[in-house]
């Protein structure tokens, strides 16, 4: 009896949201993208303690609605209110949403992969950080307890770089980070369990239930309806951008939800497969891929083969392997393959071209490079394909981006048709496409297959698989089940998808460890190189090892070290400054002329120069223009200013400046102390909260903006820091040379880029290694002296530097993950 009473209490608590305080309410939200309505008149109110299950097919408008809720997008029409108080959308943005306690865990993950788990926690709640040593401890503790609270026994190292975590672990960090935010009131979880295994998913749901009791509200978006039914208190169903149903979870069931979401997606199965024969086989799958089945798979002409399974189980990999068979992947094909991408923006459209251009490129790749292109011929070929797709020929001249998603997809299909390949690979082509286009598409698939071609079709909509002759179900990167004909049912597909495989991950981890070992060796390369150069020089001339000898040798390196420090901060933001050496030259001229003659005016001019340099960074960010060209242009300005001030080398170094670089200790060379000091300063800045933010922007600006950071402000800060280092380099030039020459810094620009890259910084941004870069700078500046010691002409100086750069980059390229497209 008492049992029942407890259950009853729980029940009333969950079932009576009306009594709870309302957190946020969206009213009559409409959002249009050109002609398509992503959201139409949607109402959504969320109260404390509620768990809303948000479901809907692909393109139903869930993501758009959530973006509007979280302030990343404004609606075309509609209003928002918090606890009954209306708020104007013009005052609403990501930062405001966060201030009001709304957090979203994005499906595509918004962590900075180059930062540690703890540092990612810092990015979300920076206000508690202090710029002093040990500031990370707070976030380390916070990360630890947050992770343990949601996922007990997770074993994630909070000091580990996010890039070293598995996708599931990243997802866990992201969820824990959102849940641990102080003052959070509503958490939106977009497909949170898509990469979690069953245990973690259960832990998450238990946590959500727990926190909901304490008054936290959740919106839980998932395609796994059993999870929705399990966790949600209320369910909201979206369909074609409209709210199709909202009600208590008790009033619904999986079957009912499927029906409301769009049960009309029933592709007619009209296709009769040709008999599978070895002669007609276009694709053969074998090896590890089919080891679970115990036999090879052949795909014949005239077949439509579907690839099913949980997202990311290897379906896409197979498509790409068929498109471009590797050496030992167990995939062979005879005949060309065409590819129809579903991620149209990223993998499909050519945004500068018209629809016609986007279609006819399909037939060009296999023609000789100097063959002629004729609009008339293209148009005729495209018109044929477009006719079969019901794509309006009169709009061929329009830019592809003016088309709706469905029509863009038709153009991509037409591209594959004009390519006229016997095999056509489809990568979730109906994603975000309206129902009418889908029907056209299914019909066309049948036509294409009947005409003797093979279709391999990856889809995330299980219902579409019913249109296939055969379905290969994937789990853990392998084909675990083959279904044919009447055996293809949604139940059978889902059943086979959930086969768990645990042994694969361990093997991947072992491989990772080996690459990491090699990478460590490469990271040590700048230091090994520096040591080797010094060793050779000392063995050739023992006097080098004296304090005086080292000072003489290393003092000229100081300026390059400082310029390299400046360049490193720019490269950390995935940009390159081609004017930094010229800027150092200008500062040198200023300090030897104006600063010497009129100290106050000179100091003012130096300040103005640094401010101008920082402003350049702001301009680059604000106008989104390429830094390389802007800074190259700026280098002309710096050099021009220098020439105007001082047409020929000369000037005098102020005494205090000379003294600043000219002191000496008896037991250590001054130059080594100064270089070490520079390294220390750079290292400290990099380790401070500020350095973490700068690196965050270098890696994932989108995530930083989502967390409420201003990109323009930090571009200014980044260039200000770089400007200060470059200015210091200019001053050191004047002090060391006791005079100035506007051209004295020119060679530093490219050398600094080389040093930064040699030191291990990534040109893609976000990965900086201050000490390595400085070791690289010292090495490069010693090359001249080294060649002198070895009696090699100084003519070979530049070539040696270039070859070292190439060698190091080649090494790095071999160890690094080649993720980028060629």
Q: Scan residues 733-792 and list those touching other proteins (CB under 8 A).
A: 750, 753-754, 757, 763-765
Q: Which of 48, 52, 73, 609 binds other proteins (CB under 8 A)?
A: 73
Name which of 127 and 822 has its Cβ closer to other proteins.
822
**Length of the chain counted residue by residue:** 822
**Which C-beta is closer to other proteins: that of 77 or that of 771?**
77
Contact (CB, 8 A) for 248 and 234: yes
Quick check: 702 binds other proteins (CB under 8 A)? yes
Rounded distance, CA 113 to CA 121, Å?
A: 12
What phi and psi, each to the nearest 5 degrees, are found at residue 180? -90, -5
809: contact with other proteins by CB under 8 A: yes
Q: How far is the CB of 6 from other proteins (least distance, A)?
A: 43
Any bridge partners for residue 354, and if so which? 399
> Are residues 366 and 419 in contact, defined by beta-carbon separation less than 8 angstroms?
yes
Q: Rule CB under 8 A: is residue 796 a binding residue for other proteins?
A: yes
**Closer residue to other proteins (CB): 352 or 528:** 352
Q: Is 161 in the site for other proteins (CB under 8 A)?
A: no
x/- mask, other proteins, residues 619-638, rule CB under 8 A, reads x--xxxxx-xxx-xxxxxx-
Q: Which stretch binds other proteins (CB under 8 A): 90-98, 121-129, 240-248, 270-278?
A: 90-98
Burial class of residue 104, CB neighbours in 10 A (0-12, 13-18, 19+): buried
Task: Please tell me whether residue 123 adopts helix, strand or coil conformation.
Answer: helix
Distances (CA, A) of 112 to 120, 212, 541, 698, 756: 7, 28, 48, 9, 21
- Binders of other proteins among residues 629 to 688 (CB under 8 A) are 629-630, 632-637, 639-645, 647
Pair of tokens at residue 589? 């001229």
Binders of other proteins among residues 535 to 574 (CB under 8 A) are 574
Residue 418 Cα distances to 351, 352, 380, 404, angstroms: 19, 20, 10, 21
CB of 364: closest distance to other proteins in angstroms? 5
Footprint of other proteins on residues 576-595 (CB under 8 A)? Answer: 576
Size of the site for other proteins (CB under 8 A): 113
Directed axis angle between helix 503-540 and helix 797-815, to 10°?
Answer: 160
Residue from the set 114, 564, 700, 732 that interacts with other proteins by CB under 8 A: 700
Quickly tell me which residue has 């009213």 as its tokens: 27
Residue 671: which residues within 8 A CB-CB, separation 6 or more?
Answer: 550, 551, 553, 554, 555, 557, 558
Give the residue, chosen from 419, 533, 605, 674, that forms a contact with other proteins under the rule CB under 8 A. 419
Residue 764 · residue 771 · CB < 8 Å: no
Q: Which of residues 5-64 bind other proteins (CB under 8 A)?
A: 33
Residue 390 or 713 having the CB closest to other proteins: 713
> Which single residue is written with the structure tokens 């796994």?
224
Tell me whether residue 253 or residue 702 sits nearer to other proteins (CB atom). 702
- DSSP 3-state of 102: strand
Find where tokens 């530049």 sit: 798
Among 458, 422, 682, which residue's Cα sits nearest to residue 569? 682
**Binding segment toward other proteins, per CB under 8 A, in 257-265, 492-500, 594-602, 805-813:** 805-813
The CB-of-118 to other proteins minimum distance in angstroms stands at 22
**Which residue, 352 or 684, is less far from other proteins as judged by CB?**
352
Does 75 interact with other proteins (rule: CB under 8 A)? yes
Restricting to residues 436-465, name those near other proteins by CB under 8 A: none
Q: Which of 217, 216, 175, 218 has its CA nearest to residue 194?
A: 175
Neighbours of 157 (CB within 10 A): 15
Per CB under 8 A, contacts with other proteins among 100-159 are: 106-109
| Distant-in-sequence, close-in-space partners of 615: CB < 8 Å, separation ≥ 6 | 716, 719
Cα-based torsion angle of the residue sequence 605, 607, 609, 615 in order, rounded to the nearest 10 degrees = -140
- 184-223 mask for other proteins (x: CB under 8 A)? ----------------------------------------
Q: Which of 245, 248, 305 is nearest to 449 (CA)?
A: 305
Name residues contacting other proteins, limited to 310-369 (CB under 8 A): 312, 323, 336, 338-339, 341, 343, 345-353, 357, 361-362, 364-369
In the complex with other proteins, the residue whose CB is nearer, 80 or 225, is 80
CB of 353 to other proteins, least distance (A): 7
Contact indicator for 269, 409 with CB cutoff of 8 Å? no
Nearest approach, Cβ of residue 409 and other proteins (Å)? 13
| Of residues 290 and 621, the one with the C-beta less far from other proteins | 621
Contact 526, 779 (CB under 8 A): yes
The binder of other proteins chosen from 35, 371, 451, 502 (CB under 8 A):
371
The least CB distance from residue 85 to other proteins, in Å, is: 16
- CB 634 → other proteins: shortest distance, Å? 6
In the chain, the largest separation of any two C-alpha atoms, in whole Å, equals 99
Q: How far is the CB of 629 from other proteins (least distance, A)?
A: 6
């Amino acid at each position: 009896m008492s049992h029942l009473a407890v259950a009853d209490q729980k029940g009333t608590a969950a079932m009576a949201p009306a009594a709870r305080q309302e957190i946020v309410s969206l009213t009559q939200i409409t959002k249009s993208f050109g002609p398509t309505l992503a959201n139409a008149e949607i109402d959504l109110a969320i109260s404390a303690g509620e768990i809303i299950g948000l479901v809907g097919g692909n393109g139903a408008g869930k993501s758009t609605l959530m973006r509007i809720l979280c302030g990343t997008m404004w609606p075309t029409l509609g209003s928002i209110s918090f606890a009954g108080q209306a708020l104007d959308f013009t005052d609403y943005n990501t930062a405001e949403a966060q201030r009001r306690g709304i957090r979203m865990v994005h499906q595509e993950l918004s962590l900075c992969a180059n930062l540690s788990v703890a540092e990612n926690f810092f990015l979300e709640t920076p206000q508690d950080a202090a710029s002093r040593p040990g500031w990370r401890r707070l976030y380390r503790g916070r990360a630890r307890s947050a992770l343990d609270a949601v996922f007990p026994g997770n074993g994630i190292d909070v000091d580990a770089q996010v890039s070293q975590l598995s996708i599931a672990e990243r997802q866990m960090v992201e969820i824990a980070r959102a849940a641990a935010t102080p003052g959070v009131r509503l958490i939106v979880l977009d497909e949170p369990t898509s990469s979690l295994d069953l245990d973690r998913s259960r832990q998450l749901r238990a946590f959500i239930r727990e926190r909901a009791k304490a008054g936290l509200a959740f919106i839980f978006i998932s395609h796994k309806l059993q999870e929705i039914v399990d966790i949600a208190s209320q369910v909201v169903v979206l369909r074609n951008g409209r709210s199709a149903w909202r009600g208590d979870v008790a009033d619904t069931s999986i079957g009912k939800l499927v029906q409301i979401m769009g049960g009309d997606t029933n592709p007619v199965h009209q296709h009769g497969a040709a008999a599978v024969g070895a002669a007609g086989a276009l694709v053969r799958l074998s090896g590890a891929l089919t080891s679970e089945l115990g036999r090879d798979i052949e795909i014949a002409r005239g077949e439509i083969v579907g690839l099913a399974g949980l997202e990311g189980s290897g379906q896409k990999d197979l498509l790409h392997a068929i498109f471009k068979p590797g050496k030992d992947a167990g995939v062979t094909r005879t005949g060309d393959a065409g590819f129809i991408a579903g991620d149209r923006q990223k993998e499909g459209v050519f945004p500068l071209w018209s629809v016609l251009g986007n279609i006819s490129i399909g037939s060009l790749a296999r023609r000789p490079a100097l063959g002629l292109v004729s609009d008339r011929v293209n148009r005729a070929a495209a018109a044929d394909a477009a006719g079969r797709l019901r794509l309006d020929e009169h709009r061929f001249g329009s830019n592809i981006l003016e088309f709706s998603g469905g029509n863009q997809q038709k153009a991509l299909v037409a591209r594959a048709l004009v390519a006229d390949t016997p095999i056509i690979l489809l990568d979730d082509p109906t994603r975000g496409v309206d129902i009418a286009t889908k029907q056209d598409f299914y019909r066309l698939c049948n036509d294409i297959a009947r005409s003797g071609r093979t279709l391999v079709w990856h889809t995330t909509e299980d219902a579409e698989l019913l249109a296939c002759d055969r379905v290969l179900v994937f789990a853990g990167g392998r084909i675990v089940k083959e279904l044919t004909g009447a055996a293809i049912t949604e139940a059978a597909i889902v059943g086979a998808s959930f086969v768990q495989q645990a042994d694969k991950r361990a093997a991947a981890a072992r491989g990772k460890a080996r690459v990491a070992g090699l990478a460590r060796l490469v990271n040590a390369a700048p230091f090994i190189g520096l040591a080797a150069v010094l060793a050779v020089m000392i063995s050739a001339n023992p006097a080098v090892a004296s304090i005086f000898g080292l000072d003489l040798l290393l003092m000229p390196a100081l300026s390059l070290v400082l310029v390299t420090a400046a360049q490193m901060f720019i490269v950390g933001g995935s940009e390159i400054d081609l004017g930094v050496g010229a800027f150092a030259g200008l500062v040198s001229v200023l300090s030897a002329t104006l600063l010497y003659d009129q100290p106050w005016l000179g100091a003012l001019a130096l300040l103005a120069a640094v401010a101008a340099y920082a402003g350049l960074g702001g301009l680059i960010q604000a106008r989104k223009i390429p830094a390389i060209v802007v800074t190259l242009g700026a280098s002309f300005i710096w050099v021009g200013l220098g020439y105007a001030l001082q047409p020929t080398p000369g000037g005098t170094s102020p005494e205090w400046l000379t003294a600043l670089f000219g002191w000496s200790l008896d037991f250590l060379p001054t130059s080594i102390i100064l270089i070490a000091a520079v390294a220390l300063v750079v290292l400290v800045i990099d380790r401070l909260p500020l350095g973490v933010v700068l690196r965050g922007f270098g890696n994932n600006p989108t995530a930083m903006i989502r967390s409420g950071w201003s990109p323009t402000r930090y571009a200014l800060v980044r260039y200000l820091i770089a400007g200060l280092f470059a200015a210091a380099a200019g001053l050191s030039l004047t002090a060391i040379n006791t005079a100035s020459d506007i051209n004295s810094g020119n060679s530093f620009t490219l050398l600094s880029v080389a040093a930064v890259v040699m030191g291990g910084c990534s040109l893609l941004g976000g990965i900086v290694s201050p000490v390595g870069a400085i070791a690289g700078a010292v090495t490069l500046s010693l090359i001249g002296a080294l060649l002198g010691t070895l009696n090699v002409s100084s003519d070979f100086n530049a070539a040696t530097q270039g070859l070292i750069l190439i060698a190091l980059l080649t090494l790095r390229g071999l160890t690094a993950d080649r993720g980028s497209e060629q």
